[in-house]
Structure 1
Amino acid sequence: MVLLMLMITADLENLTNLQPQFGCNDPDFSYMFKVKCGNCGELSQKETCVSLKETISIPRSRGIAHLFQKCKFCGRDGTVAMIEGRGQPLTHSQSQSGKYAPLMLFDCRGYEPVDFLFADGWTAESLEGTTFGNIDLSSGDFADYDEKGECPVTISNLRSTFEVVK
């Protein structure tokens, strides 16, 4: 068993609290990434999508996971389960200092998530308090204007990594 924390960062201009639309534990938010087999190292060709609201009973076990998949190369089974309660939004100060924010914790058995894909369903707040919802980050950036604060707001240079958690 390996616990991997999805860590994100970005360049936030006049924005703070970048996170999934309804918080880091949003049951409807889809996490998309590729998976790598822990046995043979084969990387999936397509992205895998997992969310907190969709669980699968693990065959020959009493456990559940958010992903159960068989490696197409070596035939080994692997699971990924999401663990709620450890995520936090990316703040403006973290962005300015280049630090990463923890988004979601994954319990990985036989598979390892890699290459997280930013998509739609994000939210952020301007430094003046305006909320920007349903942000689509699939193109790699976001730009808008905060009428209340009379300033441009942008998200750019999106980056993610998976870190081992003990």
Structure 2
Amino acid sequence: MVLLALQITAELENLTDLQPENGCDDPDFTYLFKLRCQSCGELTQKETALSLSESVPLPVGKGNTNLIQKCKFCGREGTITMVPGRGRPLTQELSEAGKSTPVMAFECRGYEPVDYVFGGGWKARSLAGTTFDNVDLSEDEFAEYDEKGECPVMISKHSSSFVVLKN
């Protein structure tokens, strides 16, 4: 079993607290990524979607998982279980320092996520306190004007990585 964290980084202009719409443990936020089979190394053709609100019973033992999938190449089955409580928003301070922040952790058995696909459903708060909801990060950048703060706001150069966490 491997515990991986999805980490994000971005350049935030006059913004802070970039995170999924209802916080890092948002049950309805959908994570999209490509998966690699840990047995044969095959990469999935399509993106796989995971959210905390969707779970299935484990085939053996007790408990639930968020994904059970069989590799189309080698036939091995793998699971990915989301682990809430390990994520934090990306702040202005982290962004300025060029650092990343974990937004969600995944317990991986047989598969590992390798390429996160940014989409909609994010939110950020301007330094003046205005909240920008349903931010779509599928494009290269997000840009708006903050009426309250009388300044432009922007999210650009967003990227992600998966890092191994210690239990």
In the other structure, the counterpart of 1:102 is: 102
Classify the secondary structure of the residue corresponding to 1:94.
Answer: helix
Letter aligned with residue 25 of structure 2:
N
* Aligned-partner Cα distance in 2 for 1:38–1:110: 5
1:69 to partner: Cα distance: 0.1
Letter aligned with residue 130 of structure 1:
T
* Aligned-partner Cα distance in 2 for 1:8–1:52: 19
Q: Which runs of 5+ in 2 are unaligned?
A: none
Classify the secondary structure of the residue corresponding to 2:119.
Answer: coil
In the other structure, the counterpart of 1:147 is: 147
In the other structure, the counterpart of 2:32 is: 32
| TM-score of the two chains, using structure 2 as the length reference | 0.98
* Aligned-partner Cα distance in 2 for 1:96–1:45: 35
| TM-score of the two chains, using structure 1 as the length reference | 0.98
For residues 93-141 of structure 1, what are the alpha-carbon distances to aligned partners after superposition, in whole Å with 9 as ceiling and x for unaligned?
1001110011001000000001101100000000010100011111131
Contact 1:118 1:140 in 2 (8 A): no
* Aligned-partner Cα distance in 1 for 2:140–2:68: 29
Count, aligned residues? 166
In the other structure, the counterpart of 2:163 is: 163
Letter aligned with residue 133 of structure 2:
G
Letter aligned with residue 156 of structure 2:
S
* Aligned-partner Cα distance in 2 for 1:63–1:70: 19
Classify the secondary structure of the residue corresponding to 1:99.
Answer: coil
* Aligned-partner Cα distance in 1 for 2:24–2:157: 20
Runs of at least 4 residues off by over 3 Å = none
* Aligned-partner Cα distance in 1 for 2:162–2:81: 14
* Aligned-partner Cα distance in 1 for 2:47–2:61: 26
The percentage of counterpart residues that share the same residue type is 61
Contact 1:67 1:80 in 2 (8 A): yes
* Aligned-partner Cα distance in 1 for 2:140–2:158: 6
